[in-house]
Amino acid sequence: MNPVEYDYGFTLAAFMLALLCALFTVHHSETDIVRRRQRALFRVILASVTLTPLFSFISTYIELLGDAHRFFTVMYLTQLGLFVTHHAAAPFFVLYTMSLNGHIRGLKRLIQIALLIPFVLIELAVLTNPIHHGLFYYNGDLRYTRGDWMLPLYFIALFYYALGIVQMLRSRKVLRHVRWSYLLFCYLMVLAGIAIQLFYPHIRVEYFTESLMAMILMVAFERDMHTISPLTGLFNRIGFSEDIRINELAGRHYTLIAIRLRDLKDYARILGETRYRALVKSVALGLSQSRVSNLDEGAYSYDEDSLALLLYGSEAKAEKRRDEVLEKLRGSWSIPGGGAIQLQATVAEIHVPKQISDRKLIMGRLSDPEPLRPEGVTLLGTEEIEHFERAQKVEIALRRALQEDRLQVWFQPIWNVHEQRFTSAEALSRLIDDELGSVPPSEFIPIAEQRGLMGQLGDFVLDKTCAMAASGVVGEGGLAYLHVNVSPYQLPGENLAERFNAILARYGIGPERLRLEITETMDIDNSALVRQSVSQLREAGFQFAMDDFGTGFSNLSSLLSGRFADIKLDRSLLLSAERDHGRQMLRSIYEMVRASGLITVQEGVETEEQLHLVEGFGCDTVQGFYFARPMPPEDFTAFLQENRTTDVPMKT
């Protein structure tokens, strides 16, 4: 086969493949709103691999016609065009790789310019080739002939690809394994094409391998619709998570501007689906579109009412961008179809990793339930961000402890004043984490209630309490029953009585060995689900104790209704008894409770004077540090064995 015809076939195939990629990319351009810089780099590569074989095709076709003298100018210009476009592929492929692994972000402008200097020199050499003929020329027979500068040209191309390989290797931990494998294949394939072209000049396989490279990049990296929100066109939470992961692995410093639109979803009912979706898109693009082409910023639509901006500049620039967002939010927003609204929003500016370093905490900042705030646009302060970070860490520690069965249940004994011995105890959950240390229940239980973990936590505590009750401490060990707390967030749950009975059956004990503590602030009568659960538990044989009496609305009718067997008086009542008025109030409460026939438990007794005080009021049982602090199961069992006398134990 004629070498020119052989070249012609490879060139035509390369052009058709590149043209197909170009048409497909133009047709599917709906994701251009995000990663514009990466998309622009890809388009330069695509233009290079499309125009290069086109120019080569025209030049080769003229040679095949045998009419080179007539169309010499066209042939020469197409060769110049070939050189101009072809040698753009290598440097822009390097920059594209750097955009994939994130190293292009924050890259100093001087370094970017330095990277492109060899490319610019090549382009100047190409444009001046008619003068020096160093790259190529046509001999007397008008046959294409390489010049002396061709070898340095290849070395410059190899320099770029070597630099690209370094960047590819830096991408090993950043890109997913499959995507990194695609990138590796692209480099190997292009380098193989260059090597073949170097030793066999008439086999233009290099163009074909570059076209294949463009197709692989398009499929593996440009068609990432699963990371794009179809509503706003910005990256969704998958895209946000991926970029956060890349930033973490690259050790990059950046600023997160987290935006929570507190009342946006309320307009769904008012506007209807079509107008509401248009409003959501308008707000998302209004806060981000003017900046998404910026190399130092990424925009994300985490949810309908949650947006995020990742800023890769200085903290001063981040503060300026934050102020722009606040100013925009405080303005009016046009409603599609007419009218305008003002949004309620919360904005947080978080410097990563200075303020938050853990990827899960960063993700949680956007999914964390938004507390009630004043009307208007609110900017979170440093203390609130630190509080959030702590809450997120506690949540992660709690989930980990529940999954790994590392949460602990300790027990605090309760002293019976009449029998002068310990007759019951309260089960108390304890969270001890390797990173956070000991986390008090007052901190992790509200978090468990907010994050939907109370059902799992409650079942865990009940299981450990039943295990202790079945171990012998209840009954032969001297205790009548164990107190275990039931959260208001547990009671509305479905099949609560069935779950509790299943746990009891696992240990072969009955409900009489437990007292379920319900806080006074829970309004049983106003919740049908709670009322139903309490009724089912009572029918199953469980008895209830009112916990923390004195901190809520003091529902006297609940006390007299027969719903409770015990009442636990909050420590605050005992502290108030140090004053004359508080003492008289506490005395009245004891008289009222005693008249109702309930067993009283005074919480928070720490001194002998407090003990004598409540004994004088007629208290039945006492709980507090005066007798013992909460202790692990093994220590609790040993404590009971050591204190089977009728003497009041000394404070521990």
> Is residue 171 pLDDT above 70, yes or no?
yes
Query: How large is the average pLDDT for residues 421-439?
Result: 93
Higher pLDDT, 651 or 410: 410
CB contact set of 510 (below 8 Å; sequence gap of 6+) = 504, 541
Following DSSP, what letter does each residue of 539-579 receive, concatenated?
A: HTT-EEEEEEETSS---HHHHHTT-EEEEEE-HHHHHHTTS
What's the pLDDT at 38?
81
Q: Does any domain span residue 399?
A: no
Of the candidates 223, 249, 277, which is a domain's last residue?
223
From CA 21, how far away is CA 212, in angstroms rounded? Answer: 9
What's the pLDDT at 524?
56
Of the candidates 188, 223, 258, which is a domain's last residue?
223
Where is average pLDDT lowest: 265-269, 292-296, 512-516? 292-296
Burial class (CB in 10 A: 0-12, 13-18, 19+), 158: middle
**Domain total in the chain:** 3
> pLDDT per residue over 518-553, tens digit each?
875 555 555 677 778 888 899 999 999 988 887 654
How many residues does the structure list for the chain? 652
Q: Do residue 27 and residue 141 come from a single domain?
A: yes
- Give the CATH number, domain containing residue 130: 1.20.1070.10
> Is residue 556 pLDDT above 60, yes or no?
no
Q: Do residue 490 and residue 422 come from a single domain?
A: yes
Q: Do residue 372 and residue 417 come from a single domain?
A: no
Q: Do residue 619 and residue 560 come from a single domain?
A: yes
Query: How large is the average pLDDT for residues 19-45?
Result: 75
> Is residue 129 pLDDT above 90, yes or no?
yes
- The overall average pLDDT reported for the chain is 84
Q: Does any domain span residue 393?
A: no
Q: Do residue 477 and residue 370 come from a single domain?
A: no
Q: Does any domain span residue 41?
A: yes
Burial class (CB in 10 A: 0-12, 13-18, 19+), 222: buried
Q: Do residue 523 and residue 594 come from a single domain?
A: yes
> pLDDT per residue over 380-406, tens digit each?
877 777 777 788 889 889 999 999 988
Q: What is the pTM of this model?
A: 0.58
- Give the CATH number, domain containing residue 487: 3.20.20.450
- Tokens 């402008």 locate to 109
What's the pLDDT at 1?
42
> pLDDT per residue over 192-224, tens digit each?
887 887 777 666 688 888 899 989 888 888 776
From CA 302, how far away is CA 308, in angstroms rounded? Answer: 7
The highest-confidence range among 46-60, 347-361, 522-536, 637-651, by mean pLDDT, is: 46-60
Q: Do residue 374 and residue 461 come from a single domain?
A: no
Q: Do residue 243 and residue 360 come from a single domain?
A: yes
What's the pLDDT at 500?
93
Q: Does any domain span residue 34?
A: yes
Residue 29's pLDDT band (boundaries 50, 70, 90)? low
User: Which SS3 state, helix, strand or coil, does residue 434 take?
Assistant: coil
> pLDDT per residue over 489-503, tens digit each?
888 766 888 999 999
Q: Does any domain span residue 441?
A: no
Residue 293's pLDDT band (boundaries 50, 70, 90)? very low
Q: Do residue 166 and residue 287 come from a single domain?
A: no
| Domain extent at residue 201 | 3-223
What's the pLDDT at 492?
77
Higher pLDDT, 80 or 304: 80
> pLDDT per residue over 317-347, tens digit each?
889 999 999 999 999 888 877 788 888 898 9
Residue 60's pLDDT band (boundaries 50, 70, 90)? confident
> Is residue 30 pLDDT above 60, yes or no?
no
Of the candidates 191, 223, 255, which is a domain's last residue?
223
What's the pLDDT at 651?
52
User: Buried b vs exposed e over 94-121: b needs ≥16 C-beta within 10 Å?
Assistant: bbbbbbbbbbbbeeeeeeeeebeebbee
**Start-to-end C-alpha separation, the chain:** 100
- Give the CATH number, domain containing residue 338: 3.30.70.270
Q: Do residue 493 and residue 625 come from a single domain?
A: yes
Q: CA neighbours within 13 Å on the CB side: how many for 184?
A: 11
Where is average pLDDT lowest: 144-148, 423-427, 514-518, 606-610? 144-148
User: Buried b vs exposed e over 628-651: b needs ≥16 C-beta within 10 Å?
Assistant: bebbebeebbebbeebeeeebbee
Q: Do residue 212 and residue 230 come from a single domain?
A: no
Q: Does any domain span residue 443?
A: no
Q: Does any domain span residue 27?
A: yes
Q: Do residue 366 and residue 478 come from a single domain?
A: no
From CA 18, how far away is CA 29, in angstroms rounded? Answer: 17
